[in-house]
Amino acid sequence: MTNAAGGTLRRRPSQRRSVERVERMLDECALLLDEVGYEQLTTKEVARRAEVPIGTFYQFFPDKQGLVRALALRNLDAFLDRMAARLAGVSLKNWTEAVDLVIDEFVEMKRTMPGFGIVDFGEILTTPGGPALPESRRMLDQSLDNNVIVADRLRSLIIELLGAPRNEGLGRALIVAVEAADAVLKLAFRAHPQGDPDLIAECKRLVRRYLSEHLSDSAVDASESVDRESEGPAEPS
Amino acid sequence: MTNAAGGTLRRRPSQRRSVERVERMLDECALLLDEVGYEQLTTKEVARRAEVPIGTFYQFFPDKQGLVRALALRNLDAFLDRMAARLAGVSLKNWTEAVDLVIDEFVEMKRTMPGFGIVDFGEILTTPGGPALPESRRMLDQSLDNNVIVADRLRSLIIELLGAPRNEGLGRALIVAVEAADAVLKLAFRAHPQGDPDLIAECKRLVRRYLSEHLSDSAVDASESVDRESEGPAEPS
DNA sequence: GCGTTAACATGAGCATCACTCATATCCGAA
DNA sequence: TTCGGATATGAGTGATGCTCATGTTAACGC
């Protein structure tokens, strides 16, 4: 819902042609990232493929990092939207099913959405191509925000759907779970182009075991918001 | 024990002066990495600080990535050696203590060893400055090797010290645990310069919960290799 | 239609980077 | 001393991220 490129753009495109251009640049960035990786990706090539002059590129994106960060945010939004839609259309027996569903969806995104496997919720999102520097506090804070956004929205979804108790530690636990799952799934995709099934299964186990401290099974049965048993997708508020 | 710069050097320094030079370059690389991050790090500046001509730099390191990878491997060796020494000098009551000890040691390394927080067991080790590319299989395999090396040596240490059963799944579980813990600790250090204590504690919980499937408490008491109760450091085989 | 003004578009050019290679220097053997 | 090959060096090369002076379009009052 929120604009995917929220604070990362130098100038927000207003006219229709400009919007399409920015979108095209992000599309080509994603494809090129999958082809050559971040370091080999050049702004000139992105601009060339998107059929946009390099000068125009730099009117919208502050720099190479900004481009990739904007893509990361767009991917993030896409994932969260798909998650919300997916969770809304299913009646879950217990919260562990929700964990499996979220991870399956994440894996599916990695398999199909260009650039999703490379630029996602980890530090790449923050400082793509470079590890976090103690100097650049601002960027770090932003990354932390992004991380919190994912975990927070997941928590909202889980609470909404499963009626889990609003533990104080749940928020932090979800952040930790997201971070850990992200890392393990990265490993799974490093080991196998489509994601090593064993490692994906192991990832689910990891998250289930960890979250079982915070999410009790009893909370699931007490769920109030899962009223409809229908399988059709329901609209989130 | 094994040379830290394993296959990453273009030419192995033979004379004493050359060895010192390579060591100095790695030292300055680590410091500079902490100061400005990978992307801002320039080979010229590393060479300048190490008081080595740029030409000489490229006689030993194939490229910028090779330099950072060599540093990563040196840090890796340092960590594993310290782990072995630390575990050898302590009698553990149960395996969860070993988990805490390993994580504490890891955190201590992140706090004190230059470049350790930035270049470590994650993908940065593999493709520093760039996420994994589907193209560059060779690098990916190497990264996987590195990851396996850590987990494998940890497994050896744990089995040796705690007499844990040699489960088939233990190896993979340790790889997953290392990957997850690494990610969560990165997060902890992004949130706090010295590492957020809450997140560090959460990391221990995560690993303990996960590994409890593979390491039973009873296995600890049946430990055979922990004969000596002395606290002096013992030599690993 | 016309003039004015501001926003937008463009790509040659600049500073800087990773990396090379022709040359200089060293050093042991004869 | 002379020679030959290994080593050391830094000016130079091509490429990259990014800028900015200039050209083009759009909007609006008259």
For residue B172, the chain A residues in CB contact (below 8 A) are 198-199, 202
pLDDT tens-place string over residues B106-142: 999 999 999 988 765 544 333 333 333 333 333 333 4
pLDDT above 70: percentage of residues in chain B = 66
- Report which of A59, A62, A30, A66 is spatially closest to residue A46, judged by C-alpha positions: A30
From CA A178, how far away is CA A161, in angstroms rounded?
A: 18
Tell me which residue in A130, A134, A184 faces B179 most closely, judged by beta carbons. A184
pLDDT tens-place string over residues B28-51: 999 999 998 888 999 999 999 999
B53/chain A closest Cα distance in angstroms: 25
Whole-Å CA distances, A183 to A44, A120, B38, B193:
31, 10, 20, 21
pLDDT at B233: 43
pLDDT at A93: 76
B49/chain A closest Cα distance in angstroms: 19
Q: How far does the CA of B63 sit from the C1' of C17, in Å?
A: 13
CB-based contact A186 B123, cutoff 8 Å: yes
pLDDT at A137: 32
Give residue A213's region: left, alpha or beta (phi > 0; psi -120 to 50).
alpha
Question: What DSSP element (H or E) covers B107?
Answer: helix B95-112
pLDDT band with cut points at 50, 70 and 90 for residue B86:
confident
Handedness of CA B81, B84, B90, B95 (dihedral sign): positive
Tell me which amino acid residue A159 is: I
From CA B86, how far away is CA B50, in angstroms rounded?
A: 32
Say what the pTM is: 0.80
CB-based contact B131 A144, cutoff 8 Å: no
Give residue B13's region: left, alpha or beta (phi > 0; psi -120 to 50).
beta
Q: Is the separation of the CB atoms in A117 and B27 below 8 Å?
A: no
Tell me which residue in A33, A123, A199 faces B186 most closely, judged by beta carbons. A123
What single DSSP character describes residue A120? S
Residue A149 CB partners (closer than 8 Å, separation 6+): A76
Residue B135 CB partners (closer than 8 Å, separation 6+): A35, A36, A37
pLDDT at A25: 94
From CA B129, how far away is CA B216, in angstroms rounded?
A: 40
pLDDT, block means (10 residues), chain A with 237 residues: 50 75 93 90 95 93 88 85 84 82 93 83 39 34 49 68 64 86 89 92 96 66 40 41
User: b/e for B66-100, b at 16 or more Cβ within 10 A?
Assistant: bbbbbbbbbbbbebbeebbebbbeeebeebbebbb
- Report which of A130, A122, A25 is spatially closest to residue B129, judged by C-alpha positions: A130
Q: Which two tokens stand for residue B76?
A: 């890796």
Question: Number of Cβ pairs closer than 8 Å across A and B?
Answer: 144
